[in-house]
Amino acid sequence: MLNIRYEKTTAPKELPAADNPLKFGTIFTDHMFLMDYEEGKGWHDARIVPYGPISLEPSAMVFHYGQEMFEGLKAYKTEDGRTLLFRPNKNAERANNSNKRLCIPTIPEEDFAQAVKAMVKMDERWIPTKPGTSLYIRPFVIATDPFLGVRPSNRYLFAVILSPVGAYYPEGLNPVKIWIEDEYVRAIKGGIGEAKTGGNYVASLASQVKAHEEGYSQVLWLDGKERKYIEEVGAMNIFFKINGKVLTPELNGSILPGVTRDSVISLCKHWNVPVEERRISVEELYEAGKDGSLEEVFGTGTAAVISPVGHLRFEDHVLMVGDGGIGEFSQKIYDTITGIQLGKVEDTLGWTVEVV
């Protein structure tokens, strides 16, 4: 149990206006959680202080050697005024899996959860209430040792910041166009692909820029070894519904184990919808498209929850999914998960945690 020190802001900011579309990740709340780590001393000095700049030596290792880990989850306001988090224990667990791969000291899961809850409680007035909005929570760790040289840092900063965000698709679910990448590779087995860390995201930018220039909104990554098997899409996991069966690539060491991915698989099992985690090749996908058995394609992630895919392109081959609209199953998944998150659908799987 952390003994959190509080320093309240003396200049609370004005909340965004009700008609503010809350562009993702641009507005931050009044406070931030900080906690330091020092070799031999462990994690210490947990504190909630006014949101503001972080001061680091130019030699801080995070600027040079990429030792950084982040998480993303959301807090929701229910109609009856309660504040809910969605599966925060999964983020605490994944944070430590990432930390281990990156040689960052782990954070006790209950401390991670406490920090998140304390921050949400502190800045609760910032949780937006319009349909589709939420308070995005960004816990992250950076290496702060002022040292040039390749080794794990001896000092770290763990921070939690909050940002009120609008609906990812303001006009509702809208099928996206996906570019299947055949030049760049995001990650490989044995690398850092299953950790949530900056190195994977910077690796994806050149491909994203290229896809945008071609009129595609997201990139679908193939495995780095054979360049045949589907891994994940942009910053999301990917699902296919083929012949009544729900398929998603298995966690093979280079795929991020998404919390929404896990939730979709659990819901399928709960509903007795056949679901498989396994290798899926581009060829299998295109064949299912050709023979008419490909019913739906959708991405899953915390930001958008569900992102239906209506159109894919691999080299010169375009694949249209269904009639280009939202699939019935995608919509059902979206309605169920967002319903649970907002306390409108019964939480039979025990996924929500109330912040009191």
Contact 286, 280 (CB under 8 A): no
DSSP for 261-319 reads HHHHHHHHHHTT--EEE---BHHHHHHHHHTT-EEEEEEEETTTEEEEEEEEEETTEEE
> CB of residue 61 vs a second copy: minimum separation in angstroms?
9
User: Pattern of binders to a second copy over 194-233, x per CB under 8 A?
Assistant: ---xxxxxxxxxx-xx--------------xx--------
Torsions phi, psi for 245 (to 5 deg): -105, 140
Size of the site for a second copy (CB under 8 A): 64
Residue 298's CB is within 10 A of a number of other CB atoms, namely 32
Contacting a second copy (CB under 8 A), which of 47, 82, 101, 177? 101
> CB of residue 321 vs a second copy: minimum separation in angstroms?
23
Tokens for 354, please give them. Answer: 């109330």
Report which DSSP code applies to 22. Answer: -
| By CB under 8 A, residue 57 contacts a second copy | yes
Interface residues for a second copy in 126-155 (CB under 8 A)? Answer: 136, 138, 140, 142, 146-152
User: Pattern of binders to a second copy over 337-356, x per CB under 8 A?
Assistant: --------------------
| CA-wise closest residue to 177 among 239, 220, 221, 241 | 220
Contacting a second copy (CB under 8 A), which of 7, 21, 44, 59? 59
| By CB under 8 A, residue 169 contacts a second copy | no
Residue carrying the six token digits 């498209």: 289
CA 349, chain centre distance (Å): 20
| By CB under 8 A, residue 54 contacts a second copy | yes
User: Pattern of binders to a second copy over 255-294, x per CB under 8 A?
Assistant: ----------------------------------------
d(CA 136, CA 249): 27
Residues engaged in binding a second copy (CB under 8 A) = 24-26, 28, 32, 51, 53-59, 62-68, 70, 101-103, 136, 138, 140, 142, 146-152, 159, 161, 163, 183-192, 197-206, 208-209, 224-225, 234-235
